[in-house]
Amino acid sequence: MRHKLQAPIDEIAFLMEAGMVYRDAHEFKEAETVFRGVRELLPSSEVPDVALGTLRFEAGDLPGAIKHYRQAIEKNPQSAYAHSHLGEAHVFLRQSKEAREHLQRALALDPRGETGKFARGMMELLAMVERG
């Protein structure tokens, strides 16, 4: 039988920050270990799945990134954060229809926040990609 893991939210936030430091230092294996641990602590949260997707994205594995972003959206269909990252991956794969769908969804969910700002920037990049 598996025991349910628990940790205070400030400790989980610290773990996420540590994982991001590893990711930004291109220590992908260590970052993945941290993000998977956070996913065990917060199984219903989409945030660790998005973080795992960013690892795959940084490593150049866009299909792998998309898989994690889709898992995040399954957990929280209202996550502008997950939709914006999924849209970004589709931009880089030049999959305009899918990119636009998820970026517009992110904008609708967070029109004034940081995620919306990111999605707007990705929409501009998508327009440039489409123009060639």
In the predicted structure, residue 4 carries a pLDDT above the cut 70: no
- Count the neighbouring beta carbons within 10 Å of the beta carbon of residue 44: 7
State residue 41's pLDDT score: 92
Angle at 64 between CA 40 and CA 28, to 5 degrees: 65
State residue 93's pLDDT score: 97
Residue 89, in any domain of the structure: yes
pTM: 0.90
Amino acid at 85: H
pLDDT category at 132 given cuts 50, 70, 90 is confident
State residue 9's pLDDT score: 84
In the predicted structure, residue 108 carries a pLDDT above the cut 80: yes
Residue 34, in any domain of the structure: yes
What domain count does the chain have? 1
Average pLDDT over residues 78-85: 98
Q: Give Rg (Cα) of the chain.
A: 15
Residue 1, in any domain of the structure: no
Question: In CATH, what number is assigned to the domain containing residue 92?
Answer: 1.25.40.10
The distance in angstroms from the start CA to the end CA of the chain is 55
Residue 117, in any domain of the structure: yes
What's the pLDDT tens digit per position in 12-50?
Answer: 999 999 999 999 999 999 999 999 999 999 999 999 999
Q: Which structural domain range is residue 125 located in?
A: 9-131
Query: At a CB cut-off of 8 Å and minimum separation 6, what does 62 contact?
Result: 56, 89, 92, 93
State residue 8's pLDDT score: 82
- 69: left (phi > 0), else alpha (psi -120 to 50), else beta? alpha
Are 102 and 86 a contacting pair, CB within 8 Å? yes
Query: Which of these, 113, 48, 116, lies nearest to 102 by C-alpha position?
Result: 116
In the predicted structure, residue 90 carries a pLDDT above the cut 50: yes
State residue 6's pLDDT score: 72
pLDDT category at 1 given cuts 50, 70, 90 is very low
